Amino acid sequence: MDMRVAINFIAKINVWRLNSRNKKMKPILLLRGLLLSLSLLVAFPSIAHHGWSEYEQTKLIKLTGKVIQNGYEHPHGFIKLSADGKEWVAVLAPPFRMENRGLLKTDIADGAQVTVEGYVNRSKPDEMRAERITVSNKTIELR
């Protein structure tokens, strides 16, 4: 009987020690978790999104032509445009932004006549980053 009381007493002391240790550790663990979460929140946008440095931002060009292919998809929509005797790929904004600003998928359907203003890619001379697009006398700012 005395042995059971002693074991029970030791078990209670160990539980008490663990609980008091956990009370001291909780603020430290909480702080570590908070710092980790904040660092991930700060780092994720820079990893998730790219920059536009590959485009020549000092030379704005304007092309008018017919859409021969379109992609209204994430992360960025695009159109393939026949203009000035050449085929161009114009990288557009994300679909949700285009819709919010009034550019619907049907507006850039194959065969549509559009005017696109943007910057040429430094390494792909037939690609541009579109800043704005005009369709059916309606100009939509994409950036």
Look at residues 76, 117, 109 and name the one whose alpha carbon lies nearest to residue 95: 76
The pLDDT assigned to 54 comes to 86
Query: What CATH number is attached to the domain comprising 134?
Result: 2.40.50.1010
The pLDDT assigned to 10 comes to 61
Give the position of tokens 């910057």.
119
Q: Which domain holds residue 15?
A: 1-49
Alpha helices in 49-121 (DSSP H): 95-100
Are residues 7 and 39 part of one domain? Answer: yes
pLDDT in tens, the chain (143 residues): 566 666 666 656 555 555 655 555 566 665 665 555 556 555 555 445 556 678 888 989 999 999 999 998 888 899 999 998 999 999 999 999 999 999 999 999 999 999 999 999 999 999 999 999 999 999 999 98
Are residues 65 and 36 part of one domain? Answer: no
Q: Which residues contact 1 (CB under 8 A, 6 or more apart)?
A: none
Are residues 122 and 86 part of one domain? Answer: yes
The pLDDT assigned to 19 comes to 60
